[in-house]
């Protein structure tokens, strides 16, 4: 890799790290902790993706590839792997429940509008919705999270009403940090794929932005972007849900794949230095 490409890569890393380090400092994560995490990721990535002849790389090869000493590689290999399973499950299940409530005919009226659901009982209920689309997680745990996020409300007569069109976590930082990890990881993985792929194999990656906008146009653009993006995501959700084996076990086909589309809005004062 030539020197110019290395410089450009380093500049990109700095741009990625600036907002990340801001989050780390605000939440009391020291450089030492970050350094250990980075070392673990380096060693783990080498182990998974840089083996030879289908064999896992040795400590010596890992040391060469990562630049860490053999002693440090051995220490990092003995570190317990970070886990995010609990928050991932909580977030994913809440998303599935809200999407199904809006999408499935069993939980909508003739106009396709989500109905108010009894909490429990016979027929269509909130507990039944959670059981069908959220697995074995207690329905009250999902209910508490959705109430906290302001997406549903529990009425005086023990019914549950849907208030919004999509699930956005409330004050649970664990779930918000899970989203930080998955969404940024997906974006970087897409860019990494496109850096290496032929034009015909590149994944969709686009954005629209201007850098000399007056303050007054931002609220209009924000609302326009949210409305258009939500409509697009709901249409795509219908297709993916209909072809996902968790929702429809009878779906045929080979392999198991993870796919989707992420949309994000950004806005900040213009800085010519980036």
Helices (H), 104-199: 126-134, 139-148, 173-196
13 and 72 belong to one structural domain:
yes
Both 149 and 47 in one domain: the answer is no
Instruction: Report how far residue 185's alpha carbon sits from residue 66's, in angstroms, rounded to the nearest whole number.
Output: 20
Residues in a beta bridge with 52: 55
What average pLDDT does this structure show over 206-234? 96
What SS3 state is found at 8? Answer: helix
| pLDDT at res. 193 | 96
Cβ contacts of 253 within 8 Å, gap of 6 or more: none
Range of the domain at 130: 83-204
Same domain, 160 and 214: no
Contact call for residues 87 and 177 (beta carbons, < 8 A): yes
Q: 161 with 218, same domain?
A: no
Q: What is the pLDDT of residues 21-74, one digit of tens each?
A: 999 999 888 999 899 999 999 999 999 999 887 788 999 999 999 999 999 999
Same domain, yes or no: 61 and 124: no
From the list 77, 255, 87, the residue with the least C-alpha distance to 175 is: 87
User: Final residue of a domain: which of 82, 101, 117?
Assistant: 82
Q: Are residues 78 and 99 in the same domain?
A: no
Out of 38, 57, 82, a domain closes at: 82
Instruction: Categorize the per-residue pLDDT at 116 as very low, low, confident or very high, splitting at 50, 70 and 90.
Output: very high
In this prediction, residue 92 carries a pLDDT of 82
Write down the pTM of the prediction: 0.73
Residue 105 and residue 38 share a domain? no
- Asked if 19 and 123 sit in the same domain, the reply is no
pLDDT tens-digit map of 202-217:
999 999 999 999 999 9
How much of the chain, in percent, has pLDDT values that exceed 70?
97
If you average pLDDT over residues 221-241, what whole number do you get? Answer: 94
Query: What percentage of residues in the chain have a pLDDT greater than 90?
Result: 62
Q: Are residues 186 and 126 in the same domain?
A: yes
- Asked if residue 212 lies in contact with residue 270, where contact means CB atoms within 8 angstroms, the answer is yes
Q: Which contiguous run of DSSP H or E holds residue 161? A: strand 159-162
57 shares its domain with 131: no
- Tally of domains within the chain: 3
Q: How would you classify the pairing of strands 152-154 and 117-118?
A: unpaired
Q: Is residue 44 within 8 Å of residue 2, measured between CB atoms? A: no
Say what the pLDDT of residue 84 is. Answer: 60
Q: How confident is the model at residue 255 (pLDDT cuts 50, 70, 90)?
A: very high
Residue 86: per-residue pLDDT: 66
Same domain, 31 and 45: yes
Alpha carbon distance 8, 4 (integer Å):
6
Determine the pLDDT at residue 1.
63
Residue that finishes a domain, picked among 170, 204, 238: 204
Give the tens place of pLDDT for each residue, 143-199.
Answer: 998 998 899 999 999 999 999 888 778 777 888 888 889 999 999 999 999 999 999
Half-sphere exposure of 203 (CA within 13 A, CB side): 15
Q: How confident is the model at residue 229 (pLDDT cuts 50, 70, 90)?
A: very high
Q: Note the pLDDT of residue 190.
A: 96
Residue 106 has pLDDT above 70, yes or no: yes
* Domain identity same for 14 and 123: no
Distance between CA atoms of residues 44 and 222, nearest Å = 40
Task: Find tokens 């929702």 and name the residue.
Answer: 247
Arithmetic mean of pLDDT over the chain: 90
């Amino acid at each position: 890799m030539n020197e110019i490409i290395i410089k450009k890569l380093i500049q990109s890393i700095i741009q990625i790290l600036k907002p990340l380090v801001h989050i780390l400092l605000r939440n009391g994560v020291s450089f030492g902790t970050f350094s250990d995490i980075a070392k673990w990721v380096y060693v783990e990535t080498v182990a998974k993706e840089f083996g030879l002849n289908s064999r896992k790389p040795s400590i010596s090869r890992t040391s060469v590839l990562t630049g860490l000493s053999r002693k440090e590689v051995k220490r990092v290999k003995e570190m317990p792997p970070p886990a995010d399973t609990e928050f991932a499950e909580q977030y994913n299940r809440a998303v599935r429940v809200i999407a199904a409530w809006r999408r499935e005919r069993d939980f909508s009226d003739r106009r396709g509008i989500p109905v108010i659901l009894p909490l429990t009982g016979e027929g269509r209920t909130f507990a039944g919705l959670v059981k069908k689309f959220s697995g074995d997680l207690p329905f009250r745990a999902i209910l508490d999270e959705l109430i906290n996020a302001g997406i549903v409300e529990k009425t005086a007569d023990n019914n549950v009403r849907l208030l919004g069109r999509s699930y956005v976590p409330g004050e649970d930082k664990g779930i918000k940090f899970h989203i930080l990890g998955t969404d940024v990881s997906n974006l970087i993985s897409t860019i990494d794929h496109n850096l290496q792929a032929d034009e015909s194999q590149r994944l969709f990656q686009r954005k629209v932005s201007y850098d000399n906008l007056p303050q007054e146009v931002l609220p209009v653009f924000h609302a326009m972007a949210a409305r258009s993006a939500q409509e697009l995501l709901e249409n795509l959700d219908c297709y993916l849900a209909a072809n996902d084996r968790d929702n429809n076990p009878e779906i045929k086909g080979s392999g198991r794949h993870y796919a989707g589309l992420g949309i994000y809005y950004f806005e900040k004062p213009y800085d010519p230095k980036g």
